[in-house]
């Protein structure tokens, strides 16, 4: 979740009307981080049966996920060089593909990670 939040924040900064956002923003991570991030983006079919899951084959060494905000407002996700998802600008709303991005990942972005950790470890009630 922290990576999704960071990527979403940077997409919004890059799309700012004053164009002060980054032209290129690079984040590097181990495959054990890339795979859950790609799974969270819902761009791979991981299957429903853990025993027959192909998860170990879906994130080979040197895997890469690329998220590009285009001048048109479209957001394209590629995984290992293959376009796997695209968020198109909504003609009825300002904000380009960011509106569709925010809608698609709203549930994940709203997770209170600290509260979940407290609930899992039993270190107190959520604030």
Report pLDDT digits (tens) over 89-124: 876 566 678 989 999 999 888 877 677 677 777 665
Q: What gap in Å lies between CA 39 and CA 90, rounded to an integer? A: 25
Distances (CA, A) of 18 to 9, 14, 68, 127: 16, 9, 19, 36
Q: What would the two tokens of residue 22 be?
A: 């980054």
Any residues with CB less than 8 A from the CB of 86 and at least 6 apart, and which? Answer: 74, 75, 76, 77, 97
Q: Is 0.85 surpassed by the pTM of this model?
A: no
Q: What kind and span of H or E run contains 127?
A: none
pLDDT, tens digit, 9 for 90 and up, residues 34-71: 878 888 888 877 767 666 666 666 777 778 888 999 88
Q: What gap in Å lies between CA 41 and CA 108, rounded to an integer? A: 9
Give start and end residues of each alpha helix (H) in 1-127: 2-14, 31-40, 55-58, 97-104, 106-109, 113-121
Q: What gap in Å lies between CA 58 and CA 37, rounded to an integer? A: 12
């Amino acid at each position: 979740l922290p990576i999704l939040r960071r990527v979403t924040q940077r997409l919004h900064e890059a799309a700012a009307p004053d164009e002060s956002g980054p032209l290129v923003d690079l984040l590097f991570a181990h495959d054990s981080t890339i795979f859950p991030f790609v799974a969270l983006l819902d761009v791979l079919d991981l299957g429903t049966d853990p025993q027959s899951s192909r998860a170990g084959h879906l994130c080979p060494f040197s895997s890469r996920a690329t998220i590009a905000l285009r001048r048109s407002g479209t957001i394209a996700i590629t995984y290992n060089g293959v376009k796997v998802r695209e968020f198109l600008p909504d003609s009825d709303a300002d904000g380009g593909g960011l509106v569709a991005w925010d809608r698609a990942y709203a549930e994940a972005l709203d997770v209170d990670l600290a509260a979940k950790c407290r609930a899992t470890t039993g270190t107190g009630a959520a604030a």
